[in-house]
Amino acid sequence: MGMKNPPYDQRIAAWMVRPLVRTPVTPNHVSMVTLFIALTGAALLATGEPASATWGAGLFVLARFLDHFDGELARQSGKTSRLGYYLDYIVGSISYAALFFCMGWGFKDSGLGIWAVVLGSGGAAAAIISMFTNLGIDKQTGGDETGDAVGYPGFAGFELEDGIYLLWPVTWLGFLYPFFIAAGIGATIYCLYTCVTLLRMRART
């Protein structure tokens, strides 16, 4: 069953994925392609070169948009599976972990020095921990491979995660450095939010 009021990017993905419904392409194929694009983008951000970073940011943003395609393809084609359910979480967490670490590595020669790597590593750890807490929240709310993954806080057709779409323009405009710092702090706060949410759910049950 789809979300009652899905965010705008998911609605667009639902429309764009329709040509794949009657093809041999599976949701898991889409997930792996998404992961490859995300890791390529993250690797380019690790170079610290402005031009490479801009290309890397663009690829990562593309990957995060494509991340909606696997779930929509699964729903429309009836190809839902437990493997796909977990793979979607794994691909997302690995992608974000790679992004944070690679941004930190790319800024290791900046004013932050080694602390850029520490912040990036912290963001990567937060992404991995959030995967497990979100899986726990899904379990508490009765989610499984036939339903929707846990959503991010959102409003008016946008989710908190949609902020990642700003990665490309801020990189192109030369503001990746403050974005990296804000994103690293934000990832930690979101991780704490999911931990507290899961603990509260478990306390009630």
Residue (of 171, 177, 168, 181) closest to 50 by Cα position: 171
Q: Whole-prediction pTM value?
A: 0.89
pLDDT digits (tens, 9 = 90+) for 151-179: 555 555 567 677 899 999 999 999 999 99
- pLDDT tens per residue across span 107-118: 999 999 999 999
Query: According to the model, what pLDDT value does residue 1 have?
Result: 41
Mean pLDDT of 169-197: 95
Q: 95: which residues sit within 8 A by CB, 6+ positions away? A: 34, 35, 38, 39, 42, 60, 63, 64, 67
pLDDT > 90 in the chain, percent: 76
Which of residues 145 and 158 earns the better pLDDT score? 158
Rg of the Cα trace of the chain? Answer: 17
Give the chain's domains with CATH numbers. 8-204 (1.20.120.1760)
The pLDDT assigned to 41 comes to 98
**pLDDT single digits (tens) 21-51:** 999 999 999 999 999 999 999 999 999 999 9
Question: In this model, does residue 188 exceed pLDDT 60?
Answer: yes
